[in-house]
Amino acid sequence: MNRALISTAVAAATLIALMVWRLIGGDPAPDLAAAFAGIEPERAILLHFRGPRLILALATGAALGMAGTVLQVMLRNPLASPDIIGFGAGASTGAAVGIVIFGDIAAAMPGALAGGALAALLVMSLAWRDGVSPLALILVGVSLTLILTTATDILLSLSPGVLATETTRFLTGSFASADWRTAGIMSVTALIGAGVLAAYAVAVDRLEHGDDVAITLGLEPNRVRLAVTACATGLVAISVAVAGPVPFIAFLAGPIARLAAGRPGTVLGLAALVGATLALGADALAGLPVAGTRLPAGIYTALIGAPAMLALLLRLEVDRK
């Protein structure tokens, strides 16, 4: 059995263990016998709270993991994840604008979709140099992320107190408000995205060797980049719309999967498993009390992802020297 298969089996086993814990563990732990017998409130806890929350975390993590790894490989840079190059920031700003303008969390979904699409379009347009320039795309994306983050902060500062508080809570990223509608939307999105990205995975892997090699093999690099970018943007935007921005999952899943598999490339399935595990693990931590309260999952992914990004930057600097 090769290393990639072993890593996939370990990731799957870890994920299953976390799933069981999120369903039947924690405090208070539901009485399974009572839940299956239809006795309330155990049935409601399992069916209407823990169930959809589990599915939403799994689908969101898998979607972000897949979106991140394909962009990193396609652009040949581990920093090229959606939450670094502006796609996630665009979706977050769009969601915030929708909530503030309409005064309703339900407006987050169309806002996130519009914001993510506009951000991706802007980044791709500004980075176009007779084709998509990977370096230009990253630089433009990082700049746009800073601009959009500042714009969101200004918007929240000018909003009424209650509305600003609700929007800020949404923008921390959490699975706590999950229901079967949002879990279903994210699950269908992740499955469609998986199908599209799997169809392009071989082409993306070949792009890692450069455009000249890809063209020699009969590929059209810019067409592949546009299709993959559109799919990744959709995955990120919808994940933000249903769960808020959960940072660094897209950034971490690909490198962890490639390190575990011991090979380059998209390693799409393993990246999806790693992303789902990270999201579910963060949600498990979110269920633990901290100083009398519970922190959202996005806080925990940021606490892990920010030092990991710093370590990666230092490693890239060392390699460059």
Top pLDDT among 221 and 180 is at: 180
Say yes or no to pLDDT of 220 above 90. no
pLDDT above 90: percentage of residues in the chain = 34
Predicted pLDDT of residue 317: 56
With 90 as the cut, is the pLDDT of residue 137 above it?
A: no
Position 142 pLDDT exceeds 80: yes
pLDDT for 125 equals 85
H helices of the chain, in order, are 3-24, 32-36, 42-44, 51-74, 87-102, 108-126, 134-158, 161-171, 180-207, 211-216, 221-243, 249-261, 268-286, 297-320
* Residue closest to 67 by CA, chosen among 199, 241, 197: 197
Q: What does the mean pLDDT of the chain come to? A: 85
Reference 184, options 238, 129, 114, 253; nearest CA is 238
φ/ψ of 132, rounded to 5, equals: -80, 120
Task: Report residue 66's pLDDT band, with 50, 70 and 90 as the boundaries.
Answer: very high
The class level of CATH for 3-320 reads mainly alpha
Domain ranges of the chain: 3-320
Please report the pLDDT score of residue 85 as a whole number. 87
74 or 216, which is more confident:
74
Quick check: 27 pLDDT over 70? no
Rounded mean pLDDT, 162-167: 81
pLDDT at residue 188 is higher than 90: yes
Q: Quick one: pLDDT band at residue 59, thresholds 50, 70, 90?
A: very high
